Homo-oligomer: A and B are copies of this chain.
Amino acid sequence: MEFTLDQVALLLSGKVEGDGSKVVNRLDKIQEGKPGGISFLSNEKYEHFIYETNASGVIVSEGFQAKKDIKTTLIRVKDAYAGFTQILEAYAQFTKNGKSGIEEPSYIDSSSTIGEDFYRGAFSYIGKNCKIGNHVKIYPNVTIGDNVTIGDNCILHSGVKICNDVVIGSFCEFHPGTIIGSDGFGFAPLEDGSYKAIPQIGNVIIEDHVSIGANSTVDRATMGSTIIQKGAKIDNQVQIAHNVVIGENTVIAAQAGVSGSTEIGKNCVIAGKAGIVGHLKIADRTTIGANTGITKSVTEPGQTLLGYMGFELKSFLKSYALFKNLPLLQDRLRELEKKQ
């Protein structure tokens, strides 16, 4: 679909400076702006692009003051980034195919129910005694086991597997290949050195507004529940072990892992590849840097940790700077020894 810049400004309650009759049908990054596209300028590091861009229009914030001539049309809004996100959403709404109905062959056990206005893709599978809400989209090759509950407005992308007894809230999104409710990794050592599987009879509870990335895995609890609380956002290839609790609005980036029975607080940020050992408690608003290993509970909220066995960010960076300079430190030590 196409819009004039005047129409875009109307949508955003913004003010046009320049030719508002130009037609746009695409969103571009400002450094890649081309005629027919609209961009935004939010980060001042990118300001120099606005003087050269070929974008038909650029959204800027109220306070923006041009330092050179500008040939593109400006749309001034309260907050350029928020404005652009608003268009992005409108655009996504238009372009996302509104899949609905049933593609055959697909499988649903007669004991299971699904609400109104759903999509069940070809080769999707729904086991016994499942209760699935309204407006749920189940893409091709999804497998849902037995006794699964799913709330309203959830999206299960292709190849997602939801195992038995999992309980999912509303407005959750599971990206392709994600697995929820696989068995926890629990084995009892026997006297002959071999191991015996401990039955994993718990489940997984996922609260509302949770998003889980592609090929991530969330294990069921040994007993009780592994819990992902409301609003948590989890990236690709993340591993959440049995009996873990992830707090509200906590964000976990790609390839991070949380070991069994650890409880992570609310509003934490865990960067990529971080690993947290089992049976810990991590306080609210903790930030854990990329590839950081956490080996002890974090009791004070709001800290930032970094390192192989992570500790406070600034201390770590000081130690690491000295680690890089260890050869120099050794030289200084030698110098002193010679003088003895």
A97 & B128 in contact (Cβ 8 Å cutoff): yes
Q: Which of A198-222 contact B (CB under 8 A)?
A: 198-201, 209, 211, 213-215, 217, 219
Copies in the complex: 3
A219 & B236 in contact (Cβ 8 Å cutoff): yes
Interface check A151, CB cutoff 8 A: no
Interface check A102, CB cutoff 8 A: no
The binding surface of chain A is classed by DSSP as loop
A332 & B327 in contact (Cβ 8 Å cutoff): no
Q: Which residues of B contact A81 (CB under 8 A)?
A: 188
A340 & B339 in contact (Cβ 8 Å cutoff): yes
Q: Which residues of B contact A217 (CB under 8 A)?
A: 177, 213-215, 236-237, 254
A255 & B267 in contact (Cβ 8 Å cutoff): no
Determine, out of A6-14, A58-66, A69-77, A312-320, the stretch whose residues face the partner at the interface. Answer: A312-320
A182 & B236 in contact (Cβ 8 Å cutoff): yes
Given contacts A161-B177, A319-B326, 5 further A-B contacts (CB under 8 A): A28-B224, A107-B140, A123-B141, A213-B217, A307-B308
Report, nearest first, the 9 A-B pairs whose CB atoms are least far apart. Answer: A92-B199, A322-B326, A182-B214, A143-B158, A125-B140, A107-B122, A214-B217, A185-B235, A161-B176
